[in-house]
A = this chain, B = another copy of it.
Amino acid sequence: MTECAIEGVGISDDRLDGGSNEGETGEHGTLPVIFPNTEAPILKPIPHGGDLGEVMRRFPDAPKPWLDLSTGINALPYAVGTLPDEAWARLPSRDDQRALLAAAAQRYGVRDQATILAAPGTQALIQLLPRLVPKSRVAVLGPTYEEHQACWARQGHDVHVIDDISRARGADVVVAVNPNNPTGTLVKTFAVPNRLLIVDEAFVDLLPPEASLVPTLPPRTVVLRSFGKTYGLAGLRLGFAIAERELIARLREELGPWAVSGPALAIGRQALADDAWLTATAARLEHDGRRLDKLLAGAGFTPVGGTPLFRLVCHDNVPGIVERLGHHGIHVRAFAHAPDQLRFGLPGDGEAFRRLAAALGVR
């Protein structure tokens, strides 16, 4: 057992390699044209879970296949089945896009289909949004999924990480992941009027409906919903934005035609309409979550937070645990900003649970 340090959180620009070039927007550079690639500060690569290549090279003798618990992606995916040939062969049609949006609107509680849009993953929207807003003071509630901060900084915005939503007062744009990743902390009230509010609800699917901003959608709010995590199909690349009609129309223009693939349209449409699968999945994840909690407690971890798809714990020897699990072919997620914390995705079956327990030396 261990005491967890509470992370100090404030304005964090430790990922910036150089000074900010604020004001040098490249808008009126001298000709001939070059790409203004000196406009934004150079960012170091962002580490993410879910990419086994590097960890497999680090532990070449680990047993295979690897057990990847480094993400919050459901380990038991929605069954893809056989797709119609047209999903692969033809340009995605407007009718197919509308059918997907109808299913997503129903699933997420969106009343007006003109207020929802599909994208090839929410990451594509996270990349896009900072390009559509004048240079702003941006408050990111964090620490959180690092791409938000990085993408706003890349487009020359003045980005601050705040540790409480009440500190967003001086910002023009407020960004929150809700529930947060990796802590699972849920903000219940966003009192940030007259600001652009972006709420990434990547992990809200299996929480009670009132946890989402979608049903009450306040003005100037963009909600992001992720398909791949709950449905276990992260490779498909499918996500959604929900916002006022004008914002959605603008995003749609910027994404352009055929942004979402035919397979994503076909699978998303079917999966999002499948109530029985979601109900069964929620029950299984709740059961497995309790099982994981027990296992981790027995191995000496202290719970910090989590969502139905992952748990965040702390330990006084995280590097040792990562090393030990690596030698057993198990990949978990550590965090540079919180070196005493680990994120465990839920194992997908009894065999995965047994393998994790054995690696951690618990019954």
Contacts and interface: CB of A to CB of B under 8 A. Distances in A.
A315 interface: no
A256 B148 CA distance: 11
A113 B224 CA distance: 34
Given A25-B27, A33-B134, A234 B89 contact: yes
A218 interface: no
A123 B257 contact: yes
Interface in A130-184: 131-136, 147, 151, 154, 172-173
Contact of A235 (B52, B91, B255): B91
Please classify how large the interface on chain A is, using the bins under 10, 10 to 19, 20 to 34, 35 or more. Answer: 35 or more
Contacts of A68: 90
A195 B234 contact: no
A28 interface: yes
B90 A235 contact: yes
Given A89-B232, A91-B71, A257 B32 contact: no
A127 B255 contact: yes
Interface in A50-76: 50-54, 68, 71, 73
Given A77-B85, A134-B26, A34 B196 contact: yes
Contact of A95 (B33, B53, B89, B195): B53
B121 A246 contact: no
B246 A51 contact: no
A283 interface: no
A229 B309 CA distance: 39
A362 interface: no
A262 B238 CA distance: 12
Contact of A32 (B51, B124, B195, B255): B195
Interface string A232-272: 11111100000000110110011111111111100000000
A323 interface: no
A257 B48 contact: yes
A12 to B, nearest CB: 20
B246 A258 contact: no
A46 B256 CA distance: 10
B51 A236 contact: no
Contacts of A48: 91, 257
A93 interface: yes
Given A31-B172, A33-B134, A235-B262, A256 B126 contact: yes
A88 B73 CA distance: 12
Listed from nearest, the 4 A-B pairs whose CB atoms lie closest are A235-B262, A50-B91, A53-B95, A33-B172
Interface of A: 25-29, 31-37, 43, 46, 48, 50-54, 68, 71, 73, 77, 80, 85-95, 120-121, 123-124, 126-127, 131-136, 147, 151, 154, 172-173, 194-196, 220, 232-237, 246-247, 249-250, 253-264
